[in-house]
């Protein structure tokens, strides 16, 4: 350790985890005596901008996750010599250690640890984040029987693909490098639940290829668990992610129903009590308890921490700024229940070089990917405490934990859509009637102008197409438009326009158009821009989901011809695809898909859970998906 960079103002008490990617240490803040866990990026990696970016991304992710079931971030410290994450220390034993000593657990205890873990995962899923490395080593069981989730080093936005993870708990889609979704974490949590109940993992093999084959094709071993738990195992270990609960919150609801039916309304109390007993038997492994630090004096430490934060902010020195990170850690950690305040990421050996896993902060791209040094200052609830020579900087989470103020909402208004009355080449006359959507109170006049142009563009294109088609016909023609707002802010505005042409015309003129616009930038999305893979093979799963929710499970009931939804139809806007609060609404004309015009217009609603792996992550992050987690109990 001699010669290695350390966060100033801390004394190291013990190493909690160490490997090629870095180390996690338990520390005490010199000024207050408060404890914190500090995760250091290895010196060789700290000099690589790519690893710095990933480390910052992990800190940014943790800053967004403020949940009692997730170990909390207190600060990101960066200097020219190194980088470190200062976080809550959780005094407890890893679930891995508990299982090694006590497996199998009683069903109530297994259900209790699963529920706590799912609630932690649910907090991440609420933000559109997939953990990707849920396993017993990343769950800390405290002396009171409650648990916390740690180590988001390889977490990603929902929809990102890759094979990162711990093989024995990886979902089939991870093995195939397909997009990850909240259902990916549900699979891993169910694997761990199976291990808690049976004392062994659901699948094992002598080599990675064999393990992949078992996870992707082997039958689910439901016969090995008690009968009341088999539906949970079957659902959670489904090979197809669409057949699993779509996220942790949904799985919690199923778990509570099954647990209450099988073990009575007191199952959770009984399970937590059993976990507390199992953890207490391993108290020698508790980092703080082993050092005689425990939970005692946390209130004083918290008060000192808050005072230290204020003092450091006022002093403006690099050392004081680093001290503020520690003091803030003490202040926030003091509010924990029971033995909270102990060895967070390190207590379980946090993914720093563990066998069979991807090390934290190095292999994962993280939630924002590459962010610059200025980007690190924007960590949620963060404040720049000090910036010294050579680019050294210290960022700490705000002491009060209050969320950043929301921007003023944009006002959505309906305005008359008008085009100058104009003659058509064949002697006819063209006019328009109806309303379109516009906005007020945009972030800036320039953004407001971009938004209004985007909101009007589909109508201009649609009616220009109609005028060309009517060019040689005499008579009076009116383009009609009706606007429906489907999703409004705070970031995205989604609108469906139903258009028609009145006059001496036949059928097929009624057509939908859609527009999705970013209210913060004015960027507009065409229907094709919503998809991760927008070629014909990539859209095939989407077509199947449309059919699954369409009346009669057909694009046009009674007809078997037609191409389905193609990239061309999404590019020119003939098929309207619009986010709503609960899912994606698809509206199309049968004739555009190759069916007869008599097929008419069809509208299909698809829940986000069914197509989360097909939609771009930035879209999913800006809509109400996944559903909010249930109330914590």
Tokens of 562: 């037609």
Q: Which region holds residue 598: left if phi is over 0, alpha if psi is between -120 and 50, else beta?
A: alpha
Rounded to 10°, the helix 248-263/107-126 angle is 160
Q: Which of 67, 133, 157, 498 is catalytic?
A: 133
Distance of CA 42 to the CA centre of its chain: 27
Do the Cβ atoms of 278 and 141 come closer than 8 Å? yes
Q: Distance between CA 326 and CA 27 in Å, rounded?
A: 9
User: φ, ψ for residue 123 (rounded to 5)?
Assistant: -60, -40
Query: Cα–chain-centroid distance for residue 464?
Result: 41
Dist. CA 528–CA 577, nearest whole Å = 8
Strand 429-440 versus strand 476-488 pairing type: parallel
Active site residue 133: yes
Contacts of 52 (CB under 8 A, 6+ apart): 41, 46, 78, 83
DSSP 3-state assignment of 86? strand
* Helix, strand, coil content of the chain in percent (nearest 5): 40, 20, 40
| Whole-number Å distance between alpha carbons of 164 and 146 | 28
Q: How many CA atoms lie within 13 A of 229 on its CB side?
A: 25
The whole-angstrom separation of Cα 493 and Cα 16 is 47
Under DSSP, the state recorded for 261 is H
Cβ-based neighbours of 267, under 8 Å, separated by 6 or more: 108, 111, 112, 259, 260
Question: Among 291, 304, 297, 312, which residue's Cα sits nearest to residue 75?
Answer: 312
Cα angle vertex 157, ends 175, 490, to 5°?
Answer: 155
Q: Which helix (H) or strand (E) holds 23?
A: strand 22-29
> Using CA atoms in the order 317, 321, 323, 329, what is the torsion angle rounded to 10 degrees?
170
Which stretches does DSSP call E strand in 82-173?
Answer: 83-87, 92-94, 129-130, 139-142, 147-149, 156-157
Query: How many CA atoms does the CB half-sphere of 340 hold within 13 Å?
Result: 23
What is d(CA 443, CA 519) in angstroms, rounded to the nearest whole number?
A: 8
Cβ–Cβ under 8 Å, residues 502 and 455: no
- Cα 276 to Cα 92, 134, 150, 192, 297: the distances in Å are 10, 21, 19, 18, 22
Query: Which sequence positions are flagged as catalytic?
Result: 133
């Amino acid at each position: 350790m001699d010669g290695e960079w350390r966060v100033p103002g801390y004394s190291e008490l013990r190493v909690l985890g160490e490997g090629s990617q870095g180390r996690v240490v338990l520390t005490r803040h010199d000024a207050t005596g408060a404890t914190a866990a500090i995760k250091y990026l290895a010196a060789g990696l700290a000099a690589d901008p790519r690893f710095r970016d990933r480390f910052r991304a992990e800190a940014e992710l943790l800053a967004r996750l403020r949940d009692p079931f997730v170990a909390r971030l207190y600060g990101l410290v960066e200097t020219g010599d190194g980088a470190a994450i200062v976080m809550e220390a959780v005094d407890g034993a890893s679930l891995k250690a508990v299982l090694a000593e006590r497996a199998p657990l009683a069903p109530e205890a297994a259900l209790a640890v699963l529920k706590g873990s799912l609630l932690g995962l649910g907090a991440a899923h609420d933000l559109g984040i997939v953990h990707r490395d849920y396993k017993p080593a990343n769950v800390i069981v405290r002396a009171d029987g409650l648990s916390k989730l740690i180590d988001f080093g390889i977490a990603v936005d929902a929809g990102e693909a890759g094979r990162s993870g711990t093989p024995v708990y990886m979902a089939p889609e991870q093995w195939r490098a397909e997009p990850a979704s909240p259902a990916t974490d549900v699979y891993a949590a169910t694997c761990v639940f199976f291990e808690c109940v049976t004392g062994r993992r659901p699948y094992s093999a002598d080599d990675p290829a064999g393990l992949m084959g078992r996870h992707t094709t082997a039958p689910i071993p439901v016969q090995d668990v008690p009968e009341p738990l088999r539906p949970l195992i079957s659902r959670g270990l489904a090979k197809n992610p669409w057949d699993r609960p779509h996220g942790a919150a949904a799985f919690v609801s199923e778990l509570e129903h099954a647990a209450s039916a099988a073990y009575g309304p007191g199952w959770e109390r009984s399970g937590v009590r059993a976990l507390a007993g199992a953890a207490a038997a391993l108290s020698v492994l508790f980092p703080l308890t082993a050092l005689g630090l425990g939970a005692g004096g946390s209130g004083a430490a918290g008060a000192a921490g808050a005072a230290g934060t204020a003092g450091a902010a006022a002093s403006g020195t690099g050392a004081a700024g680093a001290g503020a990170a520690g003091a803030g850690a003490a202040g926030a950690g003091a509010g924990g229940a029971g033995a909270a305040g102990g060895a967070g990421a390190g207590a379980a050996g946090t993914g720093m070089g563990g066998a069979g896993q991807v090390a934290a902060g190095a292999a994962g791209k993280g939630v924002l990917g590459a962010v610059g040094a200025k980007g690190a200052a924007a960590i949620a609830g963060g404040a720049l405490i000090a910036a010294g020579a050579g680019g050294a900087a210290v960022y700490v989470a705000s002491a009060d934990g209050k969320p950043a103020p929301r921007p003023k909402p944009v006002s959505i208004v309906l305005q008359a859509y008008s085009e100058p009355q104009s003659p058509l080449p064949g002697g006819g006359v063209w006019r328009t009637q109806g309303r379109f959507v516009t906005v007020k109170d945009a972030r800036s006049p320039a953004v407001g102008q971009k938004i209004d142009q985007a909101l009007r563009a589909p109508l201009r294109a649609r009616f220009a197409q109609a005028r060309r088609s009517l060019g040689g016909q005499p008579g009076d023609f009116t383009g009609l438009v009706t606007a429906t707002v489907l999703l409004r802010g705070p970031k995205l505005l989604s609108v469906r326009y139903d258009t028609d042409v009145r006059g001496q015309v036949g059928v097929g003129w009624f057509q939908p158009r859609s527009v999705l616009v970013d209210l913060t930038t004015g960027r507009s999305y065409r229907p094709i821009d919503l998809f991760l893979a927008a070629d014909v093979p990539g859209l095939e799963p989407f077509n199947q989901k449309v059919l699954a929710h369409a009346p009669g499970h057909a694009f046009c009931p009674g007809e078997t011809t037609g191409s389905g939804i193609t990239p061309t139809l999404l590019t020119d806007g003939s098929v309207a695809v619009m986010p709503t609060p609960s899912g994606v609404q698809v509206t199309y004309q049968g004739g555009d898909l190759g069916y007869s015009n008599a097929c008419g217009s069809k509208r299909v609603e698809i829940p986000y859970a069914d197509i989360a792996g097909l939609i771009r992550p930035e879209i999913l992050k800006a809509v109400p998906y996944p559903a909010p987690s249930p109330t914590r109990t």
